[in-house]
Amino acid sequence: MTPSLRLIAVLPAILLVCLSRPLAAADNDLARAYRVIASKRFVDLTHSFDPRSPVWSGFSQAKMVPAADPKTQRPYTIKEDGFHTTYYDMVGQYGTHVDPPAHFSSDGMTLDQIPLKNMILPLVVFDMTPMIATDANHALSVDDVKAWEKTHGQVPAGSFAALRTDMYKDWESNPERFKRYPFPAWSLAAIKFLFDERKVTAIGHEALDTDTSESMESETWLLKQNHFQIEVMENLDKVPATGAVIVVTWPKVENGFGFPARAFAILP
């Protein structure tokens, strides 16, 4: 039998063996997904922060000092110790941060209890800048959401709904204006509609708070319903209304009530 004929004869057996094996790592779903993700553009939705960053008036500014040897109180340095590190003294709700349900609810989920799957979600962005042009402290309404849906389709269940106001542009250039009150935000009716009717998983916004009023009714309602939110986001003007994916994460603080978060979008 010639070599070619021998190959033809054993080919069915070779194919059977190959088909019975798991796909190689380079060909599995996760590897293919990673190749797609790696080819996309990423947009950082997180502010850098320092002791001068805007914070809610009820909290103190952060303090960041060189960490010191507890025995000698001498700060660690590269020259003397081969490393340096920082001691951070700040409230959990500082900079771009996550508010878990436990922030307002005694029996709500804490930071370490939010499911990992809720940290990677489809992203929709409501651009409220046209409304702000005539109403500087506009609260996104149910009608606004429905008008958005006429253009972009129904808000997908399980998504992360973000509110674009462009307030983030004042974060560094005009921090006092960033902390202004009142400011553009969500209405309670829109929050309820998005969670109850559209079944979103979480929301996010650029301001230090959720509400246009001091009552905090929107934030209170959503956190007591065991939902979470990301506050003080940036660069939402660089993300499309639909089609992107958001990734949000934070340190796994046991029984934590809030912490600075890292959020970024993967564009379609």
Report whether pLDDT(21) > 60. no
Residues counted in the chain:
268
Q: What is the 3-state secondary structure (H, E, C) of 71-120?
A: CCCCECCHHHHCCCCEEEECCCCCCCEEECHHHCCCCCCCHHHCCHHHHE
Q: Is 27 or 4 the better-scoring residue by pLDDT?
A: 27
- pLDDT-derived band at 214 (thresholds 50, 70, 90) equals confident
Q: What is the pLDDT of residues 234-263, one digit of tens each?
A: 999 999 999 999 999 999 999 999 999 999
Instruction: Tell me which DSSP letter residue 7 carries.
Output: H
User: Would you say domain 97-266 falls under CATH 3.40.50.410?
Assistant: no
With contact defined as beta carbons under 8 Å apart, do 186 and 146 qualify? no
Instruction: Identify the pLDDT of residue 25.
Output: 52
| Dihedral (CA of 91, 92, 95, 99) sign | negative
User: What pTM was estimated for this model as a whole?
Assistant: 0.88
Q: Is the pLDDT of residue 7 over 70?
A: no
Distance CA 188, CA 217 (A): 7
CA distance 263 to 141: 25
Residue-wise pLDDT for 22-44, tens only, equals 545 557 999 999 999 999 999 99
Q: Which residue stretches of 168-242 are H helix?
A: 170-173, 175-178, 188-192, 217-224
Work out the pLDDT band at 217, boundaries 50, 70, 90.
Answer: very high
Percent of the chain with pLDDT over 90: 88
Tens digit of pLDDT for each residue in 128-185? 999 999 999 999 999 999 999 999 999 999 999 999 999 999 999 999 999 998 999 9
Mean of the per-residue pLDDT values for the chain?
91
pLDDT at residue 112 in the model:
98
Give how far the C-alpha of residue 85 lies from the chain's centroid of Cα atoms, to the nearest Å. Answer: 26
User: What average pLDDT does range 38-67 have in this prediction?
Assistant: 97
Give the start-to-end residue ranges of the domains of the chain.
3-39, 62-90, 97-266
Residues linked to residue 121 through DSSP beta bridges, in sequence order? 246
What's the token pair of residue 75?
A: 């700060």
